[in-house]
Structure 1
Amino acid sequence: MMVVQNFVVDLNKALVFQVGHLGEAYEEWVHQPIVSKEGPRFFENEILEFLTRTVWWAIPVIWLPVVCWFIYKSIRMGLSCPHLALLVVLGIFVWTLLEYSLHRFLFHIKTKTYWGNTLHYLLHGCHHKHPMDGLRLVFPPAATAILLMPFWNLVKLMATTSTAPALFGGGLLGYVMYDCTHYYLHHGQPRTEVPRNLKKYHLNHHFRIQDKGFGITSSLWDKVFGTLPPKMDAKSM
């Protein structure tokens, strides 16, 4: 148990409807990580609890066929291979900016109200409190499916009928790469320099400076927007 401003957070009970009571103390509490591979219980309800847990390999199994289907749609509409490849790469690139922006401005939004704290804990706070919880490192597919609809509609507004599917497929592929990379950075044991530095970079965000280093798949946008952690230059990335 932990006592915060006269409120007791019982780590042995479902946490979601407790953390809101922390008020302004929530920000400090949620950024004091508990390093354990066993994640906490979120809900008393078994169905809700089940929906919060996702094995990492479900992400490529579920979404890579969807990526292929969207890309195939553009092929059927006569898109050339070079044009197709360019759009997929562009989609991945756009995703990296979205990944950075969501992590920095939404996932790390400061909250202090009951429902603000509760929603933040569900969205990202739980990951900072229990960073090694292997079943809550990737985004639940049901939630992803809901969010994909407005993004797909937005892409259709911005691109042509033939280019929109390839662009969206590239963005979705970027998401799959991101979620798998995120899991690997927490539980993988990289043996080569690039992934080893990326793992160090991300764990630095969790355990050292949590308001810097928002990139997951790369530090590109942290460099662009000036959110690189102190004493970490381009050479160390």
Structure 2
Amino acid sequence: MATTSSTRAALDARPRPVAPTVGRGWAIVGAAAGLLGIVGIQASLRIDAAYDERYAGDAGRITDRLGDFVPQLLTLHLAMTGAAVLLLIFAAGLRRRLQGQAPAVSLLPDIAAGGLLLTSVAALMGAAFSTEVIFGLESDDAPLDPEFAAVVGHWVGTVPWLWVGAGVTGVAVAVAALRHAAAPRWIGWLAAVLGGVTLLVGLSPLQYLAGFTGPVLVLVLGLGFTFGDRRPSPTD
């Protein structure tokens, strides 16, 4: 009898997956943020005015070349500013979701949300000069300064790629899921892989490679919490 009681107590002490106590709209928003991030990165890839060897060192020619990328600049602006706003909602929802199972003193929910907030700022700053360049290229009354245009050509090819914060979120979600059962384990493993890669490359001199994996991580997390965050069965 004593053995049975001690075994039951040990089982009761194990962390158990918990059912979501709130709606999943925040997770859908997160998936949308990841998708917009992917769109923004693809737009940035196509804006090569500052990187084409034919225009290197010639601010005037770089400015003229940027005029060919107005649709991509507009796409970058809309996608990145949209992602920046949606990431705020996703951060709040993810924090509340993890708090439902993580230990009361755990920093993991705050760290996960903080990584998304950092990513939101980077996404917003990535589109900071896009509209000024667009209007400057289209205006005859206030022509765009070539040196400024050359800087923006580099800006839109670098700042939108700073998704290291998403890597921090991925690692925090992985620990919360795998150690505290705060999310399905498959989400935890995916977050560990994608979040770990994003964090490592984001911290390295190859930091802009985080732009390839970071938006995918956010998309996967959003979809995972939308469709895969099942309610636990009585045997879990």
Coarse TM-score class (shorter-chain normalised) = under 0.3
Larger radius of gyration: 2
Structure-2-length-normalised TM-score: 0.27
> What TM-score does the superposition give when structure 1 sets the normalisation length?
0.27
More helix per residue: 1 or 2?
Answer: 2
